[in-house]
């Protein structure tokens, strides 16, 4: 019997009778991180890291959520379980499950570069590794984060000089906070859309330092914030909400901005390549370092990526899940 | 290359015309002469001869990137652009060079024959260029710069730089010239440039009629003509030579050898606008007959007999070596008719007649009979209008027949290129033949981005089989397909081929079994001929 099996409700551990990031209602769910396709409503009991906990509670409301620290071991039935940093967003975890000496790791979403905010990715040795493949194609190579910071700040300065408001589209959980730490507050005021501000509040209450921001709600007078940058979910850009700010330039921050076609389709003025997922070399390195012989490839370019791993000698399979890839979320 | 990369980024990043023009103006003021000429050439589709095959490029790129070729091939349709895919898979450069645009073009033009040396030259180039520069270098090889710079935008920028009229600039850029043999001064600046004999005028293009016909005002202000379904052409007789240009600014004289004799009948210094049409005893033939003549290096005797072509003239642009485009249409038309007054027997050139009418209502009745005349509809031209350069609204309207339509089921989907990469936009449609669905056409356009996104997410969840980049999907969605013409075809499984198929609308109200049948299509084919 395998330590983990794949069921219509999600990834299941028979020995411990729990699911990991299930997409249907189940009695017990272990959650890698707070994004909506991994942390869903309807589970009777949740387990997540203490760092991810507050945001999951904020998003899912009054749920039975128990918290666990990185590296802490817990026995659940016949399974030994621990959570390890995945480097994806604040508090995101890879979940290690050991049953009778067989070790599985569910990595959720991950990136291996240090973004300066999330606890950096940690290699966990295992026999079976379940990996995402959002950017599992050899065309994805992330530029250095410092270089991207410069690009964004240069663009913001350029907008400020031309009396335009800079609108930067990004997800409210993860990307927004990471970008906040990359901005140079000496250029001008930083505003955030309500959805981002709400998440920021939760994170600040956890004692995590973020630069000073102003909430960009209806009571704000844009005239008081000349030279500002506004962080907002991509869907809010170009809406009635953003039009109040008058002359503006728009940009998106996403790994998909690598592709000129996607950039042009979104028709924003700029696209910055920055992602909370692993790029092609990142995925390969992470998989190699686990020492796993068996690799299960989930959401993303799973067929192509699994084929490549097979050719390189791994026992690799495609695993159908209901985890979304960014591009679907972004373009829907 | 850095300057070119900066220009490209400015053009590519902005959707605003003013920003693009500023970037071009800046470039034309700063860049060295030879680079400026190349920019004009490249953005008007005159790329240097392809130096390396795309097959070689793919293989070399995969090799340098250390990935198997199949993985490169899988990545290409997702990126949607070959030059970009190559630029993205390559490892970062070891050095950063800064050579001019002309340097790289010359390098490509002078690549040695021997494959290993060619390869080494390309690999060296890649290793000295950053991501954007690499992409541009690859584009110089593969061609097809789509950066939202129309010819119009470029002529406007040049007009600003040189403080001249846009229409003059447009004319200067037409025709056969090469950056390797012309100077900036000769192309752009010289007064009364003794334009080379072959140089065509910019075509006057029409807009589709977007108002009610009687909103055009008095009928006496307008000239009506049939809108022919051939190839728009400009016929030039200068210096005892004949030149024929297509609307795509291609010199097509060699494709139509039977027209060469025209220069014996038409005086020197004459330029006409008209239509190239396959001609039979009963008059014009359909486009399909003409299509057989295209895309061939040489024309066989048999084909010349089967599908002889004539030039159907409808406007006069130059007469006795004088540019008369500023004269009103009714004057130009009179001069043109004068030219045809004495029948030119035996010459493969005829005068396209005007359609006489009194009221808009009577003209509408005539318009409805266009198909019987082998025409697509009518053209309406203001009698007092000059011959304008490019697509200007108000003087020329095309009034086409409503397209033919059929309801069909989507059965295959393939992702698009460029800005449609990652979206399933290349769709194949089928009609019923008994209990089978027979594919009969592809269509790429007619839906909004939002609709294509819906289709894309549906296709991902409803894929039956994958054949490389193509996916077969369960027959579920019905679309109304519009088309301009229909032909019997032996090359197609369905036995028919459509002209200009596109998606007219998404028939959410219909289930697959309510789609049309192959019998319905064949009925349309019968009525069409």
Q: What is chain B's pLDDT, residue by residue, as a tens digit (529 residues)?
A: 899 999 998 888 877 888 899 999 999 999 999 999 999 988 887 777 777 899 999 999 999 999 999 999 999 988 989 999 999 999 999 998 889 999 999 999 888 888 899 999 999 999 999 999 999 999 999 877 777 777 778 889 999 999 988 878 888 887 778 888 888 888 888 775 545 778 889 899 999 988 888 889 999 999 999 999 889 999 999 888 898 988 877 778 878 888 988 988 889 999 999 999 998 888 888 777 787 777 666 778 887 887 789 999 999 999 999 999 999 999 999 999 999 887 677 789 999 999 999 999 999 999 999 988 889 899 999 999 999 988 888 899 999 988 889 999 999 999 887 777 778 999 999 999 988 999 999 998 888 888 998 999 899 888 888 887 889 999 999 999 999 888 888 888 889 999 889 999 999 888 899 999 999 999 888 877 5
Residues B447 and B280: their CA atoms lie apart, in Å, by 38
Listed residues A227, A251, A272: the one ending a domain: A272
What token pair was written down for A219? 């009571």
Chain A within 8 Å of B366 (Cβ-Cβ)? no
Place of tokens 């970062």: B92
Residues whose CB is less than 8 angstroms from the CB of residue B327 and which lie 6 or more positions away in sequence, other chains included: B386
CA torsion A265-A268-A274-A278 (nearest 10°) is -20
Q: Residue A260 and residue B84: Cβ atoms within 8 Å?
A: yes
Extract the tokens encoding B195: 């334009």
How far away is chain A from the Cα of B473, in angstroms, using its nearest Cα? 18
Domain with CATH 3.30.470.30 in chain B: 207-400
Contact B409, B441 (CB under 8 A): no
Least confident of A141-145, A243-247, B150-154, B479-483: B150-154
* A84 lies within 8 A of chain B by CB: no
- State whether the Cα torsion B42-B44-B49-B51 is positive or negative: positive
Minimal-distance CA residue of chain A relative to B68: A308
Domain that holds residue A282: 5-139+276-331
Domain with CATH 2.40.50.140 in chain B: 404-528
pLDDT at A330 over 50: no
Q: What is the pLDDT of residue B296?
A: 67
Residues in chain A closer than 8 A to B92 (CB atoms): 141
Scan for tokens 């270089």, then name that residue: A147
Selection from B511, B515, B506, B526 nearest residue B439 by Cα: B515
C-alpha–C-alpha distance, residues A231 and A228, integer Å: 10
For the four alpha carbons of B89, B95, B101 and B103, in that order, the dihedral sign comes to: negative
Instruction: Please indicate whether, in this complex, the C-beta atoms of A332 and B453 are within 8 angstroms of each other.
Output: yes
**pTM, to two decimals:** 0.77
C-beta separation of A252 from A259 below 8 A: no
Cα separation, B405 vs B428, whole angstroms:
16
Token pair listed for B500: 């200009």
Statement to judge: residues A282 and A268 lie in one domain: no
What contacts 24+ positions apart, CB below 8 Å, involve A43-49? Answer: A43/A19, A47/A18, A48/A83, A48/A91, A48/A93, A49/A83, A49/A91, A49/A92, A49/A93
Chain B interface test: which of A155, A247, A264 (most B C-beta within 10 Å): A264
CA of A184, closest CA in chain B: separation in Å? 23
Give me the pLDDT at residue B149, please: 76
The residue among B167, B445, B441 whose CA lies nearest residue B323 is B167
The secondary structure of residue B257, as a DSSP letter, is G
Q: Which residues of B touch A308 (CB under 8 A)?
A: 68, 71
Locate A201 and state its tokens. 């509040």
Beta strands in A70-142 (DSSP E): 73-76, 79-85, 93-99, 102-106, 128-133
Any idea which residue has 């050095």 for tokens?
Answer: B95
Give the HSE-up count for residue A146: Cα atoms under 13 Å, Cβ half-sphere: 0
Contact (CB, 8 A) for A47 and A64: no
**Residue A210, domain CATH:** 3.40.50.10710
Q: How far apart are CA B209 and CA B203, in angstroms?
A: 19
CATH 3.40.50.300 fits B404-528, yes or no: no
Does B193 contact A at CB distance below 8 Å?
Answer: no
How do residues A84-109 score in pLDDT, each as one tens digit? 999 999 999 999 999 999 999 999 99
Q: Does B67 touch chain A (CB under 8 A)?
A: yes
Question: Rounded CA gap, B41 and B35, in Å?
Answer: 10
Q: CB-based contacts of B301: which residues, under 8 Å, 6+ apart? A: none
Sign of CA dihedral B469, B473, B475, B480: negative
Query: Could you tell me if A247 lies within 8 Å of chain B, comparing CB atoms?
Result: no
| Separation of alpha carbons B486 and A183, rounded Å | 59
Q: A46 with A16, same domain?
A: yes
- Tallying the residues shown for chain A, one arrives at 332
- Same domain for A149 and A266: yes
CA distance A258 to A269: 14
DSSP B165-201: -HHHHHHHH-SS--TTT--HIIIII-TT----TTPPP
As a CATH number, domain B2-142 is 1.10.3260.10
How big is the A-B interface in CB pairs under 8 Å? 68
My answer on whether A109 and A153 are in the same domain is no
Under a CB-based contact definition with an 8 Å cutoff, are residues A245 and A144 in contact? no
Q: Give me the DSSP letters along B449-504.
A: HHHHHHHHHHHHHSEEEEETTEEEE-S--EEEEEESEEEE-SSSTTSEEEES-EEE
Are residues B324 and B332 in contact, defined by beta-carbon separation less than 8 angstroms? yes
Interface mutation target, options A259, A279, A323, chain B, most CBs of B under 10 Å: A259
Dihedral sign from CA coordinates of B286, B288, B289, B291? positive
Phi/psi at A291 (5° precision): 75, 5
B423 touches chain A (CB under 8 A): yes
The domain total for chain A is 2
* Alpha-carbon span A77 to A14, nearest angstrom: 9
- Give the per-residue pLDDT at A326: 53
Verify whether the Cβ–Cβ distance B71 to A138 is below 8 Å: yes
CA distance A120 to A130: 19
What confidence tier does A328 reach under pLDDT thresholds 50, 70, 90? very low
Would the CB atoms of B80 and A259 count as touching at under 8 Å?
A: yes
Using CA atoms, how far apart are residues A112 and A124, in angstroms rounded to an integer?
12
Contact A330, A277 (CB under 8 A): no
Kindly state whether residues A71 and A183 are assigned to the same domain.
no
Alpha-carbon distance of B451 to B458, in angstroms, equals: 11
Q: Round to whole Å and give the CA distance between B515 and B477.
A: 10
Out of A245, A272, A299, a domain closes at: A272
Q: Tell me which of B146 and A263 has the higher pLDDT.
A: A263
End-to-end alpha-carbon separation of chain B, Å? Answer: 55
Does pLDDT of A9 surpass 90? yes
pLDDT at A202 over 90: yes
State the Cα angle at B283 between B279 and B287, rounded to 5°: 55
- Window 14-33 of B, Cβ < 8 Å to A: 14-15
Phi–psi pair at B240, nearest 5 degrees: 60, 20
**Which H or E run contains B104?**
helix B101-109
Q: So what's the pLDDT on residue A331? A: 34
Q: Are A199 and A91 in contact (CB under 8 A)?
A: no
Edge-first strand listing for the sheet containing A79-85: A73-76, A79-85, A93-99, A102-106, A128-133, A294-300, A315-318
What CATH number is given to the structural domain containing A102? 3.60.15.10
- The pLDDT assigned to B331 comes to 97
Indicate the pairing of strand A65-68 with strand A45-49.
Answer: parallel
- A272, A289, A306 — which closes off a domain? A272
Evaluate if residue A165 carries a pLDDT over 50.
yes
Q: Which residues of B61-80 are buried (b: 16+ CB within 10 A; e: fewer)?
A: bbebbebbeebbebbbbbbb
Superfamily of domain B207-400: DNA ligase/mRNA capping enzyme (3.30.470.30)
The residues of B annotated as belonging to the active site are 227
């Amino acid at each position: 019997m395998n330590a983990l099996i794949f069921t219509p409700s999600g990834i299941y551990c028979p020995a411990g009778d729990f699911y990991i990031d299930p997409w249907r209602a189940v009695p017990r769910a272990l959650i890698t991180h707070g994004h909506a396709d991994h942390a869903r409503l309807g589970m009777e009991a949740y387990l997540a890291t203490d760092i991810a906990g507050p945001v999951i509670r904020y998003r899912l409301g009054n749920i039975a959520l128990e918290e666990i620290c990185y590296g802490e071991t817990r026995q659940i039935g016949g399974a030994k379980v621990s959570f390890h940093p995945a480097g994806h967003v604040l508090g995101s975890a890879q979940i290690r499950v050991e049953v009778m000496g067989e070790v599985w790791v569910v990595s959720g979403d991950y990136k291996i570069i240090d973004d300066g905010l999330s606890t950096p990715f940690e290699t966990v040795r295992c026999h079976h590794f379940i990996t995402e493949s959002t950017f599992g194609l050899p065309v994805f190579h992330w530029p250095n984060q410092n270089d991207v910071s410069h690009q964004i700040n240069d663009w913001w300065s350029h907008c400020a000089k031309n009396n335009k408001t800079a609108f930067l589209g990004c997800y409210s959980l993860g990307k927004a906070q990471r970008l906040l730490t990359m901005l140079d507050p000496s250029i001008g005021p930083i505003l955030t859309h309500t959805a981002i501000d709400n998440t920021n509040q939760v994170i600040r209450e956890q004692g995590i330092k973020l630069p000073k921001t102003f909430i960009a709600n209806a009571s704000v007078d844009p005239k008081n914030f000349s030279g500002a940058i506004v962080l907002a979910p991509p869907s809010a850009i170009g809406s009635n909400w953003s039009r109040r700010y008058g002359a503006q330039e728009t940009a998106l921050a996403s790994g998909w901005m690598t592709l000129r076609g996607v950039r042009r389709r979104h028709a924003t003025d700029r696209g910055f390549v920055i992602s909370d997922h692993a790029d092609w070399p990142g995925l390969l390195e992470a998989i190699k370092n686990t020492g796993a012989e068996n690799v299960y490839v989930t959401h993303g370019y799973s067929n192509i990526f699994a084929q490549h791993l097979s050719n390189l000698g791994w026992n690799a399979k495609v695993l159908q899940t209901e985890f979304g890839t960014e591009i679907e979320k972004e373009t829907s | 290359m850095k300057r070119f990369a900066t220009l490209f980024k400015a053009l590519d990043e902005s959707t605003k015309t003013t920003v693009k023009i500023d970037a071009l103006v800046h470039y034309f003021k700063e860049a060295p002469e030879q680079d400026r000429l190349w920019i004009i050439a490249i953005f008007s589709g005159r790329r240097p001869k392809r130096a390396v095959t795309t097959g070689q490029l793919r293989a070399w790129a995969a090799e340098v990137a250390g990935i198997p070729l199949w993985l490169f091939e899988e990545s290409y349709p997702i990126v949607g652009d070959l030059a970009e895919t190559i630029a993205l898979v390559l490892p970062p450069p070891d050095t950063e060079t800064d050579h001019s645009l002309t340097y790289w073009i010359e390098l490509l033009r002078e690549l040695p024959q021997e494959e290993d040396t060619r390869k080494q030259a390309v690999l060296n180039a890649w290793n000295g260029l950053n991501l954007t520069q690499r992409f541009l270098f690859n584009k110089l090889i593969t061609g097809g710069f789509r950066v939202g710079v129309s010819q119009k935008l470029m002529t406007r920028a040049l007009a600003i730089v040189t403080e001249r009229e846009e229409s003059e600039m447009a004319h200067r850029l037409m025709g056969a010239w090469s950056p390797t043999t012309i100077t900036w001064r000769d192309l752009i600046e010289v007064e009364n440039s003794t334009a080379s004999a072959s140089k065509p005028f910019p075509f006057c293009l029409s807009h589709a009629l977007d108002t009610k016909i009687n909103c055009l005002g008095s009928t006496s202000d307008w000239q009506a003509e049939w809108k022919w379904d051939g190839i728009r052409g400009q016929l030039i007789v200068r210096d005892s030579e004949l030149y024929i240009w297509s609307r795509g600014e291609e010199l097509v004289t060699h494709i139509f050898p039977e027209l060469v004799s025209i220069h014996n009948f038409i005086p020197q210094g004459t330029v006409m606008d008209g239509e190239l049409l396959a001609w039979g005893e009963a008059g014009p033939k359909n486009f399909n007959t003409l299509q057989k003549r295209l895309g061939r290096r040489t024309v066989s005797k048999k084909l010349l007999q089967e599908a002889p072509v004539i030039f159907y003239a409808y406007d006069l642009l130059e007469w006795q070596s004088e540019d008369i485009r500023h004269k009103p249409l009714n004057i130009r038309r009179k001069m043109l008719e004068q030219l045809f007054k004495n029948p030119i027997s035996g010459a493969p050139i005829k005068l396209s007649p005007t359609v006489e009418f009194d009221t808009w209502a009577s003209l509408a009745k005539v318009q409805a009979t266009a198909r019987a005349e082998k025409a697509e509809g009518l053209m309406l031209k203001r009698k007092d209008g000059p011959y304008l350069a490019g697509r200007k609204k108000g003087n020329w309207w095309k009034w086409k027949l409503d397209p033919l339509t059929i309801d069909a089921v989507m059965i295959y989907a393939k992702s698009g290129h460029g800005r449609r990469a990652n979206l399933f936009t290349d769709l194949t449609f089928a009609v019923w033949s008994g209990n089978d669905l027979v594919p009969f056409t592809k269509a790429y356009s007619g839906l909004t981005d939002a609709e294509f996104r819906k289709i894309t997410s549906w296709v991902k969840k409803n894929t039956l089989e994958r054949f490389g980049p193509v996916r077969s999907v369960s027959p579920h969605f019905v679309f109304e397909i519009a088309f301009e013409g229909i032909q019997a075809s032996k090359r197609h499984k369905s036995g028919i081929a459509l002209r200009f198929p596109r998606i007219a609308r998404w028939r959410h109200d219909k289930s697959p079994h309510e789609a049309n049948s192959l019998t319905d299509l064949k009925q349309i084919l019968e009525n069409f001929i």
